[in-house]
Amino acid sequence: MSAYKLLLLPGDGIGPEISAEAEKVIAFLGQAGVAKFEIERGLVGGAAYDAHKVAISEDDMKLAHAADAVLLAAVGGPKWDGVPYAVRPEAGLLRLRKDLALFANLRPAICYPALADASSLKRELVDGLDIMIVRELTGGVYFGEPKEIVTLENGEKRAVDTQVYTTHEIERIGRVAFELARKRGNKVTSSDKANVMRSGYLWREVITALHKREYADVQLEHMLADALGMQLVRWPKQFDVIVTDNLFGDMLSDEAAMLTGSLGMLPSASLGAADANGSRKAMYEPCHGSAPDIAGKGIANPIAMIGSLGMAMRYSFDNAKAADAIDAAIANVLAKGLRTIDIKGDAPSSISTAQMGDAIVAEL
């Protein structure tokens, strides 16, 4: 059995705590002979800034390039509010996405039945919810040039960001969405602001053509991004796979995650293109942030982080069995009523980050 090269980037805030729990699962999988891992560790975000005055070091970028998969916990926090823009914590995350060419961000929005009451939506609207949001991750307004602030002659400042998309960028993310849909509910909702943005107009044109040419068996609908944001609230179960650009994907995936009432539970995968051997660069991270307000208290929910390791087993290490086992272990501890404080609800008591990690390992 060849070893999987995994780079761990715990990052900031609750990152190190939840990362430690994922390591327990990694250790278990190793001992149980399910998989062999070669683990590297690095710094990203505020942690990298504190150590090296950068958002991620060149050495750690090399490790990221060499890894089969990166497992990142979270970056950012008020501590670094004043650092120069180019080295703010988020810059580390953005560089990883861009340099590793991780164009496809998969964000499942699943509502765990045991947690349906935690949603602010009425139970019947979210119980059993299972959406896959496919967000384009290396283009759009996140990376387009010019991207700058200039001072005008009259002393005013003028800030510019540029949203750019080309045919092949839209096509390749569209393909990811259609392929996923075929294995799920066979329906894709593509979202844009074609009525206002030229990039949205091209987006719709390219997705429509790709659908007609290669994926006519999949049901396709187009929905304006503002309307989709509304429909998510009104009736989320109408969706199967949603494909959209970097910025709309940022907004809509967070909204969908919050709807489930299971934000602390949701993992994500960011994937590159497959090479000749069928292997691809990949990064896995929780959908939630670094939660600086509860960092260091040992109460953070490690489930999204452990679920991200599960996604790595599925998408990078081709080990659906291990991935399914992790998902089942998570569902089981929840069904048993084990709760960290964020999902406590009406439960009589809550457990710590470490207890949740241990419980999941015990299930495995």
- Just list the catalytic residues: 142, 193, 226, 250, 254
By CB under 8 A, the residues from 186 to 245 that bind a copy of itself are: 193, 195-203, 205-206, 225-227, 229-230, 233-235
Structure tokens at 105: 């961000």
Region from 2-10, 116-124, 324-332, 349-357 binding a copy of itself, contact rule CB under 8 A: 116-124
State the number of binding residues for ligand IPM (CB under 6 A). Answer: 6
Within 8 A by CB and 6+ apart from 9, the residues are: 41, 42, 43, 44, 60, 70, 71, 72, 73
Site string for a copy of itself, 297-326 (x = CB under 8 A): ------------------------------
To a copy of itself, the closest distance from the beta carbon of 177 in angstroms equals: 19
If the CB atoms of residues 26 and 93 are measured against ligand IPM, the closer one turns out to be 93
Any contact of residue 245 with ligand IPM (CB under 6 A)? Answer: no
DSSP string for residues in 220-269: EEEEEHHHHHHHHHH-GGG-SEEEE-HHHHHHHHHHHHHHTT-GGG-EEE
Q: Which of 23, 68, 192, 250 binds ligand IPM (CB under 6 A)?
A: 250
Across-strand partners of 72? Answer: 9
168 φψ region: left (φ > 0), alpha (ψ -120 to 50), beta (else): alpha
Q: Are strands 282-286 and 267-271 parallel, antiparallel or unpaired?
A: antiparallel
Strand positions, DSSP E, 279-349: 282-286
Which of ligand IPM, a copy of itself, none binds 251 (CB below 5-8 Å, type-dependent)? a copy of itself
CA–CA distance, 296 with 351 (Å, rounded to integer): 15
Counting contacts by CB under 8 A, is residue 152 touching a copy of itself? yes
Which residue is nearest to ligand IPM, using beta carbons?
Answer: 90
Considering the rule CB under 8 A, would residue 147 count as an interface residue with a copy of itself? Answer: yes
Residues 172-201 that bind ligand IPM (CB under 6 A): 195-196
Assess 40 for contact with ligand IPM (CB under 6 A): no
Strands 4-11, 37-41: parallel, antiparallel or unpaired by DSSP? parallel
Choose the one of ligand IPM, a copy of itself, none that binds residue 3, judging by a C-beta under 5 to 8 angstroms depending on kind: none
Cis peptide before 16 (omega within 30 of 0): no
Among 148, 217, 221, 324, which residue interacts with a copy of itself (rule: CB under 8 A)? 148
In angstroms, rounded to a whole number, what is the distance separating the alpha carbons of residues 224 and 336?
Answer: 41
The entry of ligand IPM, a copy of itself, none near residue 238 (CB within 5 to 8 angstroms by kind) is none
Contacts (CB under 6 A) with ligand IPM, residues 129-168: none
- Taking the C-alpha atoms of residue 93 and residue 88, their distance in angstroms, rounded to an integer, is 10
Q: If you count them, how many residues does the chain have? A: 364
Q: According to the binding rule CB under 8 A, does residue 66 interact with a copy of itself? A: no
Phi-psi region at 144: left, alpha or beta (left = phi > 0; alpha = psi -120 to 50)? beta
Q: Which residues are annotated as a binding site for NAD(+)?
A: 77-90, 289-301
Q: How many CB atoms lie within 10 A of CB 122?
A: 9
| Residues in touch with a copy of itself (CB under 8 A) | 76, 85, 88, 90, 94, 120-122, 125, 141-142, 144, 147-149, 152, 156-168, 193, 195-203, 205-206, 225-227, 229-230, 233-235, 247-248, 250-252, 254-255, 257-259, 263
| Residues in touch with ligand IPM (CB under 6 A) | 90, 93, 195-196, 226, 250
